Amino acid sequence: MQTQLQRLWNDGNERWQFFRQWLRHPISTAAISPSGVRLVRAMVAEIPPEAQRVIELGAGTGVMTRAILERDIAPQDLLVFELNPELARYLEDVFPQVRIRCADARDLAAEAAASGFAEGGLADAVISSLGLLSMPRSLQKDILAASFQCLNPGGRFIQFTYGPTCPVPRDILDELGLHAVRGQTVLRNVPPATVFVFSRSRSRAIVPRSIR
Protein backbone atom coordinates (compact mmCIF):
# COMPACT_ATOMS: atom_id res chain seq x y z
CA MET A 1 0.00 0.00 0.00
CA GLN A 2 1.22 3.49 -0.89
CA THR A 3 2.17 5.73 2.02
CA GLN A 4 1.05 9.35 2.09
CA LEU A 5 4.65 10.38 1.37
CA GLN A 6 4.86 8.10 -1.70
CA ARG A 7 1.59 9.47 -2.97
CA LEU A 8 2.80 13.07 -2.60
CA TRP A 9 6.08 12.15 -4.32
CA ASN A 10 4.29 10.45 -7.24
CA ASP A 11 1.86 13.33 -7.57
CA GLY A 12 4.71 15.88 -7.68
CA ASN A 13 6.59 13.72 -10.18
CA GLU A 14 3.55 13.46 -12.48
CA ARG A 15 2.95 17.20 -12.33
CA TRP A 16 6.59 17.90 -13.18
CA GLN A 17 6.54 15.40 -16.10
CA PHE A 18 3.37 16.99 -17.41
CA PHE A 19 4.61 20.59 -17.06
CA ARG A 20 7.86 19.74 -18.92
CA GLN A 21 5.83 18.32 -21.80
CA TRP A 22 3.61 21.42 -21.85
CA LEU A 23 6.73 23.61 -22.16
CA ARG A 24 7.83 21.52 -25.16
CA HIS A 25 4.47 20.88 -26.85
CA PRO A 26 1.98 23.44 -25.49
CA ILE A 27 -0.67 22.98 -28.19
CA SER A 28 -0.96 19.18 -28.16
CA THR A 29 -0.51 18.94 -24.36
CA ALA A 30 -3.35 21.48 -24.04
CA ALA A 31 -3.05 21.98 -20.24
CA ILE A 32 -0.26 22.94 -17.85
CA SER A 33 -1.04 20.26 -15.28
CA PRO A 34 -2.86 16.93 -15.14
CA SER A 35 -6.63 16.96 -14.61
CA GLY A 36 -7.64 17.38 -10.99
CA VAL A 37 -9.32 14.66 -8.97
CA ARG A 38 -12.82 16.20 -9.29
CA LEU A 39 -12.65 16.35 -13.08
CA VAL A 40 -11.29 12.79 -13.21
CA ARG A 41 -14.23 11.63 -11.05
CA ALA A 42 -16.75 13.50 -13.23
CA MET A 43 -15.35 11.88 -16.39
CA VAL A 44 -15.20 8.34 -15.02
CA ALA A 45 -18.73 8.69 -13.56
CA GLU A 46 -20.01 8.87 -17.16
CA ILE A 47 -18.73 5.35 -17.95
CA PRO A 48 -21.88 3.17 -17.96
CA PRO A 49 -21.99 0.85 -14.91
CA GLU A 50 -22.10 -2.26 -17.12
CA ALA A 51 -19.09 -1.17 -19.23
CA GLN A 52 -16.28 -3.70 -19.56
CA ARG A 53 -14.08 -2.38 -22.36
CA VAL A 54 -12.74 1.18 -22.49
CA ILE A 55 -10.47 3.19 -24.80
CA GLU A 56 -8.64 6.23 -23.46
CA LEU A 57 -7.40 9.03 -25.73
CA GLY A 58 -4.66 11.43 -24.60
CA ALA A 59 -3.63 9.80 -21.34
CA GLY A 60 -0.84 12.24 -20.39
CA THR A 61 0.63 11.01 -17.10
CA GLY A 62 -2.25 8.60 -16.47
CA VAL A 63 -4.60 10.26 -13.97
CA MET A 64 -7.67 9.08 -15.93
CA THR A 65 -6.02 5.70 -16.68
CA ARG A 66 -5.66 5.03 -12.96
CA ALA A 67 -9.29 6.00 -12.28
CA ILE A 68 -10.56 3.81 -15.15
CA LEU A 69 -8.71 0.82 -13.69
CA GLU A 70 -10.04 1.65 -10.22
CA ARG A 71 -13.51 1.60 -11.77
CA ASP A 72 -12.87 -2.16 -12.23
CA ILE A 73 -11.99 -2.16 -15.91
CA ALA A 74 -9.47 -5.00 -16.33
CA PRO A 75 -6.05 -3.87 -17.69
CA GLN A 76 -6.47 -6.11 -20.78
CA ASP A 77 -9.80 -4.41 -21.52
CA LEU A 78 -8.28 -0.95 -21.63
CA LEU A 79 -6.54 0.51 -24.69
CA VAL A 80 -4.66 3.77 -24.15
CA PHE A 81 -3.47 6.32 -26.73
CA GLU A 82 -0.80 8.92 -26.08
CA LEU A 83 0.86 10.77 -28.96
CA ASN A 84 3.84 12.14 -27.00
CA PRO A 85 6.58 9.43 -26.95
CA GLU A 86 8.02 10.51 -23.57
CA LEU A 87 4.59 10.37 -21.93
CA ALA A 88 3.82 7.05 -23.65
CA ARG A 89 7.04 5.56 -22.20
CA TYR A 90 6.13 6.93 -18.77
CA LEU A 91 2.69 5.29 -19.02
CA GLU A 92 4.25 1.97 -20.07
CA ASP A 93 6.40 2.04 -16.92
CA VAL A 94 3.50 2.91 -14.62
CA PHE A 95 0.87 0.61 -16.22
CA PRO A 96 2.83 -2.40 -17.53
CA GLN A 97 -0.32 -4.53 -17.96
CA VAL A 98 -2.20 -1.99 -20.08
CA ARG A 99 -1.87 -1.72 -23.90
CA ILE A 100 -0.34 1.73 -24.44
CA ARG A 101 -0.18 2.93 -28.05
CA CYS A 102 2.13 5.83 -28.84
CA ALA A 103 -0.07 6.85 -31.74
CA ASP A 104 -2.47 9.47 -33.03
CA ALA A 105 -6.04 8.97 -31.82
CA ARG A 106 -7.05 9.50 -35.45
CA ASP A 107 -5.62 6.00 -36.17
CA LEU A 108 -7.64 4.43 -33.39
CA ALA A 109 -9.38 1.77 -35.50
CA ALA A 110 -6.17 0.51 -37.15
CA GLU A 111 -4.28 0.60 -33.84
CA ALA A 112 -7.08 -1.27 -32.03
CA ALA A 113 -6.75 -4.02 -34.64
CA ALA A 114 -2.91 -4.03 -34.66
CA SER A 115 -2.71 -4.20 -30.85
CA GLY A 116 -5.12 -7.16 -30.64
CA PHE A 117 -7.62 -5.10 -28.59
CA ALA A 118 -10.25 -5.31 -31.35
CA GLU A 119 -10.28 -9.13 -31.11
CA GLY A 120 -12.05 -8.80 -27.74
CA GLY A 121 -14.96 -6.93 -29.37
CA LEU A 122 -16.17 -3.35 -29.48
CA ALA A 123 -15.64 -0.90 -26.62
CA ASP A 124 -18.35 0.45 -24.31
CA ALA A 125 -16.80 3.87 -23.76
CA VAL A 126 -14.08 6.20 -24.99
CA ILE A 127 -12.64 8.59 -22.40
CA SER A 128 -11.00 11.49 -24.20
CA SER A 129 -8.83 14.23 -22.70
CA LEU A 130 -7.75 15.47 -26.13
CA GLY A 131 -7.75 19.22 -26.74
CA LEU A 132 -10.56 18.92 -29.33
CA LEU A 133 -11.23 22.67 -29.17
CA SER A 134 -7.82 23.58 -30.58
CA MET A 135 -7.85 20.86 -33.26
CA PRO A 136 -8.68 21.43 -36.93
CA ARG A 137 -12.20 20.33 -37.87
CA SER A 138 -10.93 17.50 -40.07
CA LEU A 139 -8.97 16.00 -37.15
CA GLN A 140 -11.95 16.34 -34.77
CA LYS A 141 -14.12 14.57 -37.30
CA ASP A 142 -11.60 11.78 -37.99
CA ILE A 143 -11.13 11.11 -34.26
CA LEU A 144 -14.87 10.95 -33.58
CA ALA A 145 -15.51 8.77 -36.65
CA ALA A 146 -12.71 6.34 -35.69
CA SER A 147 -13.96 6.24 -32.09
CA PHE A 148 -17.52 5.38 -33.07
CA GLN A 149 -16.18 2.71 -35.42
CA CYS A 150 -14.73 1.02 -32.30
CA LEU A 151 -17.73 1.61 -30.01
CA ASN A 152 -20.73 -0.69 -29.67
CA PRO A 153 -24.09 0.80 -30.81
CA GLY A 154 -24.88 2.16 -27.34
CA GLY A 155 -21.28 3.26 -26.71
CA ARG A 156 -20.36 6.69 -25.33
CA PHE A 157 -17.57 9.12 -26.16
CA ILE A 158 -16.81 11.07 -22.97
CA GLN A 159 -14.90 14.32 -23.38
CA PHE A 160 -14.07 17.34 -21.26
CA THR A 161 -13.56 20.82 -22.53
CA TYR A 162 -12.21 24.06 -21.07
CA GLY A 163 -14.60 26.10 -23.23
CA PRO A 164 -18.14 27.14 -22.27
CA THR A 165 -19.88 25.21 -25.07
CA CYS A 166 -19.75 21.86 -26.84
CA PRO A 167 -16.25 21.50 -28.33
CA VAL A 168 -17.55 19.86 -31.54
CA PRO A 169 -19.53 22.01 -34.00
CA ARG A 170 -23.11 20.97 -34.62
CA ASP A 171 -22.60 20.29 -38.33
CA ILE A 172 -19.88 17.73 -37.59
CA LEU A 173 -22.17 16.00 -35.07
CA ASP A 174 -24.96 16.01 -37.68
CA GLU A 175 -22.70 14.58 -40.33
CA LEU A 176 -21.60 11.75 -38.04
CA GLY A 177 -25.14 11.15 -36.71
CA LEU A 178 -24.19 11.99 -33.12
CA HIS A 179 -25.76 13.95 -30.32
CA ALA A 180 -24.09 15.66 -27.37
CA VAL A 181 -25.26 15.89 -23.78
CA ARG A 182 -23.69 18.34 -21.35
CA GLY A 183 -22.44 16.71 -18.16
CA GLN A 184 -20.95 18.11 -14.98
CA THR A 185 -19.07 21.42 -14.87
CA VAL A 186 -16.08 21.17 -12.57
CA LEU A 187 -15.17 24.63 -11.33
CA ARG A 188 -12.47 23.37 -8.97
CA ASN A 189 -10.12 22.31 -11.75
CA VAL A 190 -7.30 24.30 -13.35
CA PRO A 191 -8.80 25.52 -15.60
CA PRO A 192 -12.50 24.83 -14.90
CA ALA A 193 -13.87 22.20 -17.28
CA THR A 194 -17.17 20.76 -18.50
CA VAL A 195 -17.85 17.15 -19.42
CA PHE A 196 -19.74 16.30 -22.64
CA VAL A 197 -21.01 12.87 -23.64
CA PHE A 198 -21.46 12.01 -27.32
CA SER A 199 -23.58 9.10 -28.51
CA ARG A 200 -25.18 7.93 -31.73
CA SER A 201 -28.49 9.60 -32.45
CA ARG A 202 -31.24 8.88 -34.93
CA SER A 203 -32.41 12.42 -35.52
CA ARG A 204 -30.94 15.47 -33.78
CA ALA A 205 -27.34 16.51 -33.24
CA ILE A 206 -27.84 18.22 -29.87
CA VAL A 207 -30.48 17.25 -27.34
CA PRO A 208 -31.38 20.60 -25.75
CA ARG A 209 -33.60 19.15 -23.00
CA SER A 210 -30.68 17.15 -21.62
CA ILE A 211 -28.28 20.08 -21.55
CA ARG A 212 -28.07 21.31 -17.99
User: Contact at 8 Å (CB) between 81 and 105?
Assistant: yes
> How far apart are CB 189 and ligand SAM at their closest, in Å?
10
d(CA 156, CA 127): 8
Among 63, 78, 112, 158, binds ligand SAM (CB under 6 A): 63
Q: Does 59 bind ligand SAM (CB under 6 A)?
A: yes
5 burial type by CB count under 10 A (0-12 exposed, 13-18 middle, 19+ buried): exposed
Among 81, 90, 95, 117, binds ligand SAM (CB under 6 A): 81
Q: Does 68 bind ligand SAM (CB under 6 A)?
A: no
Q: Does 189 bind ligand SAM (CB under 6 A)?
A: no
Query: For residue 31, which of 156, 143, 139, 160 has the smallest C-alpha distance?
Result: 160
Q: Does 34 bind ligand SAM (CB under 6 A)?
A: yes
> How far apart are CB 135 and ligand SAM at their closest, in Å?
8
Among 68, 79, 91, 130, binds ligand SAM (CB under 6 A): 130
d(CA 153, CA 73): 19
Query: For residue 166, which of 208, 126, 105, 107 has the smallest C-alpha distance?
Result: 208
Residues near ligand SAM (CB under 6 A) are 28-31, 34-35, 57-60, 63-64, 81-84, 87, 104-105, 129-131
